[in-house]
Amino acid sequence: MDDNKIKINLYLNEQYYPMTINRDEEEDVRAAAKKVNDYLSSAKQYFDNGELGENRLLTMVSFQFALSYIRAEQKGDTTPCIDKIKEWDSLLENKLLADYTDNNLAFLDNKDKEG
pLDDT tens digit sequence for 3-22: 899 999 999 888 999 999 99
Q: Which residues of the chain have pLDDT under 50?
A: 111-112, 114-115
Q: What local confidence, expressed as pLDDT, does residue 29 receive?
A: 92
Q: What is the full DSSP assignment across 32-99? A: HHHHHHHHHHHHHHHS-HHHH-HHHHHHHHHHHHHHHHHHHHHH---HHHHHHHHHHHHHHHHHHHHH
Q: What local confidence, expressed as pLDDT, does residue 79 receive?
A: 74
The model carries a pTM of 0.59
CA distance 14 to 58: 13
* 33 neighbors 12 (Cβ within 8 angstroms): yes
